[in-house]
Structure 1
Amino acid sequence: MTMNVETSTPPGTPTPIGPYNHIAKAGPFITIGGTAGVDPATGQLAGPDVHAQTTQILKSFAVMLASVGSDLGHVLHINVFLAAMSDFERMNAAYIEAMGAHRPARTVIGVRELPRPGVLLTMNLTAVTRD
């Protein structure tokens, strides 16, 4: 069985900072690459704090997932890359607000540096379509 891989960066999401699209989809499987808390309307960080950036990432994920027939309730796994583990609880608070009762598998990794100044975290995910 062969599956075509479709890639995209839908409108209403941040512009990638490198040579990639945000979304790769093959059959019902979806991956979204590393996404920072950038407001797509302004191209600037959604805020200077981890709560605002986490909220924006998850809003961007919702738009991306909707563009390929999915939603946050169909997320299988999320990776969180935090620049400071001291932001863990504040990230969790914003994460719970956005994810509601859905608790996919998750990994949180502390990182030394992220590619854009002021970025406190990035996330990527794996999901499936609603079908």
Structure 2
Amino acid sequence: MEMIHTHKATPPAGHYSQAVRANGFVFVSGQLGFLPPAAPGERPALASGAAGQAREALRNLREILEAAGSSLAAVASVTVYIPDVGLWDEVNQVYEQCFGGHRPARAIVPTRELHHGALVEISAIALG
């Protein structure tokens, strides 16, 4: 197993890796929609709204995959967590823009509140 880390994505805030490569796959931990920090060591802020957070979560996902030598085009499965099913369409629109014609397997899971008051969390499994 290989732990993946990039400074281009939000650093882990707990005891986990941004991603792990194992058996030809890259498993990316759940990404919240944090904006990049303005300075090293500064705590990032969440982007505004569900669409903004989806964009940033997907940007973090892309950066982590690229650090692993993979890409969004290699994503096989995605799980999207949202605290309100009413956010589905807004998040789905950003998701479609990001993935274009690529259609990985996906689940959107309406859940209770997310950490830090986030409106979106996205994890993925890609070939890598």
Given the two structures, how large is their TM-score scaled by the length of structure 2? Answer: 0.91
SS in 2 for 1:30: strand
Q: Within 2, Cα distance between the matches of 1:100 and 1:55? A: 14
Give the Cα separation in 1 of the matches to 2:8 and 2:30: 16
Aligned partner of 1:20 among 16, 23, 44 = 16
- Contact between 2:4 and 2:68, CA under 8 Å: does it hold in 1? no
- The amino acid that maps onto 1:45 is L
1:81: Cα distance to partner? 0.6
Q: Which secondary structure state, in structure 2, belongs to the residue aligned with residue 116 of structure 1?
A: helix
Which structure 2 segments of 5+ residues have no match?
39-43
The answer for the alignment partner of 1:127 in structure 2 is: 126
For residues 45 and 84 of structure 1, what CA distance do their matches in structure 2 show?
A: 17
Extract unaligned runs of 5+ from structure 1: none
Quote how far apart the aligned CAs of 1:17 are. 1.9
| Partner secondary structure for residue 54 of structure 1 | helix
Contact persistence 1:15–1:40 (CA under 8 A) = no
Backbone CA RMSD of aligned residues: 1.0
* Segments of 4+ moved more than 6 angstroms: none
1:96 offset after TM fit, Å?
Answer: 0.8
- 1:61-76 correspondence to structure 2 within 5 Å: 61-76=61-76
